[in-house]
Amino acid sequence: MNISRGPQAFPRSEYLRRLGSVKFEMGRCDIDALVVSDQHNITYLTGYTALSAYVPQAVVVSIREEEPTFILRRCDAPAAIHQCFMERDKIVAYPEAYIGNPDKDGYDAVVDYLEDVGLASRGIGIELCCLPSQSAEKFRMRLPSATIVDATKAVTWIRLIKSDLEIAVMREAAAISDAAILRAAEVIRPGVREADACAEIVATLVRGANGKPGSGIEGISLCSSPRTGTCHIPWSEDVFRYGSQVNLEIGGARYGYCAGLMRTYTIGSPSDRLRRVHEIQVAGLEVALDAIRPGATCSDVANAFNRSIEKRGLKKETRCGYAHGIGWLEPTASLKDGDMTELLPNMTFHLMLGNWIEEDFGYVISETFRVTDSGVEVLTTAPRKIFEI
274 binds a second copy (CB under 8 A): no
Residues 6+ apart with CB under 8 A from 142: 108, 111
Residue (of 280, 302, 317) closest to 351 by Cα position: 302
210 binds a second copy (CB under 8 A): no
Minimum gap (Å) between residue 118 Cβ and a second copy: 26
Judged by beta carbon, residue 164 or residue 317, the one nearer a second copy is: 317
Phi, psi of 34 (to 5 degrees): -120, 125
Q: State the CB neighbour count (10 A cutoff) for residue 225.
A: 18
Dihedral (Cα; 146, 151, 154, 156), 10-degree rounding:
130
- Give, as ranges, the residues between 233 and 262 that touch a second copy (CB under 8 A): 233-237
Minimum gap (Å) between residue 219 Cβ and a second copy: 5
Q: How many whole angstroms from its chain centre is CA 35?
A: 20
Judged by beta carbon, residue 6 or residue 243, the one nearer a second copy is: 6
Judged by beta carbon, residue 28 or residue 232, the one nearer a second copy is: 232
In Å, what is the CA distance from 376 to each residue of 172, 289, 293, 346, 367? 18, 7, 6, 9, 11
E strand segments, 30-127: 33-36, 58-62, 69-73, 91-94, 123-126
Minimum gap (Å) between residue 64 Cβ and a second copy: 28
Q: Residues 68, 125, 208, 252: which binds a second copy (CB under 8 A)?
A: 208
191 binds a second copy (CB under 8 A): no
- Give, as ranges, the residues between 38 and 67 that touch a second copy (CB under 8 A): 49-52, 54
Do 379 and 176 meet the contact criterion of CB atoms below 8 Å apart? no
Count the site residues for a second copy by CB under 8 A: 79
Minimum gap (Å) between residue 333 Cβ and a second copy: 8
Do 108 and 97 meet the contact criterion of CB atoms below 8 Å apart? no
327-356 footprint of a second copy as x/- string (CB under 8 A): --x-x--x-x--x----------------x
206 binds a second copy (CB under 8 A): yes
The residue count of the chain comes to: 389
Minimum gap (Å) between residue 232 Cβ and a second copy: 4
Stretches 155-163, 205-213, 272-280, 283-291: which one binds a second copy (CB under 8 A)?
205-213
- Give, as ranges, the residues between 102 and 131 that touch a second copy (CB under 8 A): 128-131
216 binds a second copy (CB under 8 A): yes
Do 297 and 313 meet the contact criterion of CB atoms below 8 Å apart? no
Q: How many whole angstroms from its chain centre is CA 105?
A: 27
In Å, what is the CA distance from 166 to each residue of 12, 23, 163, 376? 13, 20, 5, 16
293 binds a second copy (CB under 8 A): no
Q: How many angstroms separate the CA atoms of 324 and 336, rounded?
A: 14
Stretches 105-113, 115-123, 163-171, 312-320: which one binds a second copy (CB under 8 A)?
312-320
148 binds a second copy (CB under 8 A): no
Judged by beta carbon, residue 99 or residue 378, the one nearer a second copy is: 99
Judged by beta carbon, residue 19 or residue 131, the one nearer a second copy is: 131
Do 206 and 214 meet the contact criterion of CB atoms below 8 Å apart? yes
Do 305 and 337 meet the contact criterion of CB atoms below 8 Å apart? no
168 binds a second copy (CB under 8 A): no
Minimum gap (Å) between residue 177 Cβ and a second copy: 15
202 binds a second copy (CB under 8 A): yes
Minimum gap (Å) between residue 99 Cβ and a second copy: 6
Judged by beta carbon, residue 17 or residue 88, the one nearer a second copy is: 88
